Structure 1
Amino acid sequence: MSVYLFAGGGTAGHVNPLLATADRLREREPDAEILVLGTAEGLEARLVPERGYELVTIPKLPFPRRPNAAALRFPGALKATIDQVRGIIRDRHVDVVFGVGGYAAAPAYLAARAEKAPLVIHEANAKPGMANRLGARLTRFVGVLFPSTRLAHARVVGLPLRREVEQVDVPAARAEAQALWGLDPRRPTLLVTGGSLGARRINETVSTSIAAILGTGWQVLHITGTTATVADPGLAGYRILEYCDRMELALASADFAVSRAGGSTLAELGALGIPSVLVPYAVGNGEQALNARDLVGAGGAVLVADAEFTPQWVDRALLPLLDDRARVAEMAARAAAQGVRDGADRMVDLLIEARESRSTATAAPGSAAPGSAAPGSPAQPAPKPEADASAE
């Protein structure tokens, strides 16, 4: 029986791929023991036990950004946390450490290195976080979602998707969605979504332009999010949902999408071959605009900055696009060409490869340390982008 320590969390973008990988690993290795290392404050504190995995918590240690008392305490607190994780690795006889980024990841990576345990990393953003930039230097087992991600030893594996999305029967799910939400099977469907909390700019612009959009012959399934304030005008062909717990049905019903550009969203659009207009979240470090550049560069999506996604832009750009069915079909094919539906299996393959590397290293005197590249061995980097896309 092999023992795996999965580390990371905080947000759904970290926790969902972690759990999708754990589920697939459990299917392929039913006797495997899977522990999840996280914090008590992150989303993992609720989702991991709900999925039936053991959660081990460590203190949340934000990296200090300025010289203050917290910065002075940080080295000692980090060392204590690393020692705690090292104890877990030893006591539970962990064979492989797997991290997805987040507060729990960096201590796990450093503990794995100290204990000479194979380390595997997955990065779901084009712009890697600090923890994964550190971890990628400690191992050659690095999986990424985007080909343009610049991370040491990166291999494109896609995103471990939820099984209901990965294995969705599109025709059957589309029929179920049409029955559930009253969609017309004779009309193409535009899916509009900004995530579970919604996206104010997307919501307001689509709400203002809805009559013109419906005038193109499309119907609209609009997931507004739980904090949205847009009202339902009661127009035929316009279906508003505050929250959707059957996203696989919403995706299967979509012939086109308007959405944010989070990693999970892009992975699902590509996996199901859904062309899109992407409106990256304007707050933060611009990572969503970077996430979008591969799909946009391949011709499967159009990028528009949040501030520019206005009713005027809809009139000028979106409506002619929706009217051009040949272009929509071509964009769908290009999006599908970028998609990966077996990311969970690819990630589990990487975990097994790392585990077996430990056995090989143990059996071969003088071989490279577990998780490190053997001298002279070629790395497997993700292709570098031909050109950078413009950020917001």
Structure 2
Amino acid sequence: MTLSVVVAGGGTAGHIEPAMAFADAVRRLRPDATVTALGTEKGLDTRLIPARGYPLELIPPVPLPRKPSGDLLRLPVKVWSAVSAVRDVLRKVDADVVVGFGGYVALPAYLAARGRTPIVVHEANARAGLANKVGARFAARVAAAVPGSGLPNAEVLGIPLRHAVTTLDRNALRPAAREHFGLPADGPVLLVFGGSQGARSLNSAVAAALPGLTEEGIAVLHAHGAAGTPADPAPGYVPQMYRARPYIEDMHLAYAAADAVLCRAGAMTVAEVSAVGLPAVYVPLPHGNGEQALNAEPVVAAGGGVLVPDAELTGDRVLAELVPLLGDAARLEAAGKAARASGHADADERLARLVLDVVEGRP
């Protein structure tokens, strides 16, 4: 029979990318499957999801508080309007299963499917959000990226990642990747990025550290964000030693060009960086509930990276952490192997098989 899967993972790239990677895995395992994505006009849904080749069904947005509060009690009209819209979609596509990845698209999807269509929940973060806490109560199966998410009976699978990342051969692609970015063919390269919006503290620290890095022969590939500011190299610097871009579309090429990473510790970032075997200095976002530090802890504990609090990130700290690492080939290789071993490069297909088991009635 034809398989109809509905994925609910809209809003941010952190929800959309795992959903799309999972969808790709479903289609590899079941070429006859149809995968429909739920989303809203708010966020990145209308840009990212159609670009990946999946039909997008728009529902009314339901902004959610991170924890149960009075704000949630004031949302019943919006919630039930979205639930009604999701039910229409589930009927239209004759859905066999709903797979949710959290966020404001997932809650109405869970409520619409409850008692009608089997539900599978995937939690990417170290601490589950409100939508997945609700969905897990009546899901057929629950999966998580790391232990300790707070969801009952969660099976730890990792985060579904793009096939271009999980199958990346960094050594084979390295020459072409460095040429693509205009980086030196030889010598260590540090990749710096802070997410799609960049990160002011990372940008400032790199600017302060750049003279010391280049003096040590370390080239820098810097994604500073659309609203961020690139470093201002000293006069007379070699252009190949510092390449700045507002945003890097082809992250697999950036990973192939690099030897180490300076980055935030969002769930997707940690999963991708560790899956490709790159050691990293993780600088958790200093806001929220502290989940970014928790995201990176398994990799750090395995020896694949270090954690530096945002308040302690300076140019001197960048040099202290990265110059010794990038100057020691044996240490760099060991840290890279530890990073890769701590990851879950097969999470996309493991989640896809779990969902197929639910549809086919297997425990």
What is the CA distance between 1:301 and its match in structure 2? 0.7
- 2:206 matched residue in structure 1: 206
Paired with 1:204 and 1:291, the residues of 2 have a C-alpha distance of 24
Corresponding residue for residue 39 of structure 1 = 40
> Which residue matches 2:294?
290
| Match for residue 251 of structure 2 among 247, 262, 278 | 247
Residues of 2 paired with 1:319 and 1:49: CA distance?
42
Distance 1:209 1:88 in 2: 52
Distance change in 2, residues 1:75/1:257 (3 Å): same
Distance 2:11 2:322 in 1: 35
Counterparts of 2:194 and 2:82, CA distance in 1:
36
Aligned to 2:125: 125
| CA distances 1:83-125 after superposition (whole Å, capped 9, x unpaired) | 443343344321111111111111111222231x211111111
Alignment of 1:114-263 (within 5 A): 114-115=115-116, 117-233=117-233, 235-236=237-238, 237-263=241-267
Letter in 2 for 1:34: V
* Contact 1:2-1:95 within 8 A present in 2 as well: yes
- The aligned residue for residue 62 of structure 2 is 61
RMSD (Å), alpha carbons: 2.2
SS where residue 239 of structure 1 aligns?
strand
Higher mean C-alpha displacement, 76-85 vs 135-144? 76-85
**TM (normalized to structure 1)?**
0.84
CA–CA distance in 2 between the matches of 1:239 and 1:287?
Answer: 31
**2:279 alignment counterpart:** 275
Q: Could you state the TM-score of these two structures normalised by the residue count of structure 2? A: 0.90
May I ask how many residue pairs the two structures share in their alignment? Answer: 356
1:160 partner SS: coil
Larger Rg: 1
Aligned partner letter, 2:192:
V
Distance 2:26 2:355 in 1: 9
User: 1:390 maps to which residue?
Assistant: none
2:93 is matched with: 92
- Would the aligned equivalents of 1:193 and 1:258 in 2 still touch at CA under 8 Å? yes
Letter in 2 for 1:218: I
Residues in 2 aligned to 1:165 and 1:191: alpha-carbon distance in whole angstroms: 16
Matched, 1:309 2:313: yes
The more displaced of 260-269 and 180-189 is 180-189
SS in 1 for 2:220: strand
Shift of 1:53: 2.2
Q: Secondary structure at the match of 2:113?
A: helix
SS in 2 for 1:137: helix
**Letter paired with 1:219:** A
* Structure 1 gap segments, 5+ residues each: 361-372, 374-392
Q: CA deviation at 1:25?
A: 1.4
C-alpha deviation, 1:129, in angstroms: 0.9
CA contact (8 A) 2:226 2:247 kept: yes
Contact 1:190 1:221 in 2 (8 A): yes
Gaps of 5+ in 2: none
Contact 2:201 2:313 in 1 (8 A): yes
Residue in structure 2 matched with residue 6 of structure 1 by the alignment: 7
Task: After TM superposition, give the deviation of residue 211 of structure 1 in Å.
Answer: 1.4
Task: Report the more deviating stretch, 25-34 or 129-138.
Answer: 25-34
Aligned 8 A contact 1:124 1:144 in 2: yes
- Alpha-carbon separation, structure 2, partners of 1:207 and 1:173: 28
